Amino acid sequence: MSVMYVGEGLVIEGSDLDNVAHIDLLIGPKDGPVGTAFANALSNQSAGHTNLLAVVSPNIVCKPATVMITKVTLKGGKQVMQMFGPAQAAVARAVVDSVVDGTLPKDKAEDWVIVCGVFIAGSANSNAKIYKNNYEATKLAIKHAMAKTPTIDEIIAKKETKHPFE
């Protein structure tokens, strides 16, 4: 039976919505539905939606291999460089640090893949905040995915909680 872990993480510093990070991700085996989604994300590109591998630095892909998918249409060189710079490094390092701290099992690093949706606001204006917030949001999403949280009871108890973008 194939396994799929689903996680989400949102990080906003105070009222700074320009540099908000919102991560949605899937984790699972290469030979399951997450592996299929991973391959499709890398092979199906479109204008403004350039999917890319998360790399710690050039030529050092993170493991489990992670494909970053854009959750908004990237408009202009600035936003593209934010995705291919601080966001890419943040996601990759969060994945590797999740292996180091045991959140992701090291023995699955070659067998699993991650599909990671990344949001970069068109108004984002700080590479340092983009990095920090995407790192924290990715770590949080991985933690939630692997712990299978929140539970349905926690969701029901908090279903009336105000959404930050309402």
Mean pLDDT for 136-144 is 98
pLDDT 10s digits, 82-139:
999 999 999 999 999 999 999 999 999 999 999 999 999 999 999 999 999 999 999 9
How far is 132 from 142, CA to CA, in rounded Å? 16
Clarify whether 22 is annotated catalytic. Answer: yes
pLDDT 10s digits, 108-118:
999 999 999 99
Pairing of strands 112-118, 5-11: unpaired
Domain residue spans of the chain:
5-148
How many C-beta atoms surround the C-beta of residue 110 within 10 A? 11
How many C-beta atoms surround the C-beta of residue 39 within 10 A? 14
- Decide: 42 and 34 in contact? Cβ < 8 Å: no
User: CATH for 5-148?
Assistant: 3.30.230.60
The pTM of the full predicted model, rounded to 2 decimals, is 0.96
